[in-house]
Structure 1
Amino acid sequence: MAIDIGIAKKDRETVAKHLSKLLADTYSLYLKTHSFHWNVTGPQFNSLHTMFEVQYNELWTAADEVAERIRILDVFAPGSYSQFGKLTSIKEEAGVPEWKDMVAQLVEGHEIAAATARDTIKAADTAGDEGTADMVTGRLKEHEKTAWMLRSLLK
Structure 2
Amino acid sequence: MAKKLTATAKAPPINIGISAKDRAAVASELSKMLADSYTLYMMTHNFHWNVEGPMFNTLHAMFMTQYTEQWTALDDIAERIRALGHYAPGTYADYAKLSSIREPKAVPEATDMIRLLVQGNEAVAKTARTALNQADQANDQPSADLLTQRLDVHEKNAWMLRSLLR
TM-score, L = length of structure 1: 0.99
Alignment-mate amino acid for residue 81 of structure 1: Y
Between the aligned partners of 1:15 and 1:134, the Cα distance in structure 2 is 13
Count of residues in correspondence between the two structures: 155
For residue 91 of structure 2, what is the aligned residue in structure 1? 80
SS in 2 for 1:13: helix
Indicate whether 1:124 and 2:135 are aligned: yes
Indicate whether 1:51 and 2:62 are aligned: yes
Alignment-mate amino acid for residue 86 of structure 2: V
Where in structure 2 are the equivalents of 1:2-151 lying within 5 Å? 2-151=13-162
TM-score, L = length of structure 2: 0.92
Between the aligned partners of 1:93 and 1:35, the Cα distance in structure 2 is 10
Shift of 1:91: 1.1
For residue 154 of structure 1, what is the aligned residue in structure 2? 165
Between the aligned partners of 1:47 and 1:81, the Cα distance in structure 2 is 30
SS in 2 for 1:18: helix
Shift of 1:94: 2.2
Higher helix share: 1
Segment of structure 1 superposing worse, 92-101 or 144-153: 92-101
Moved segments of 4+, more than 4 Å:
none
Shift of 1:92: 1.1
Structure 1 unpaired stretches of 5+: none
Alignment-mate amino acid for residue 70 of structure 2: L
Query: In terms of Rg, which structure is larger?
Result: 2
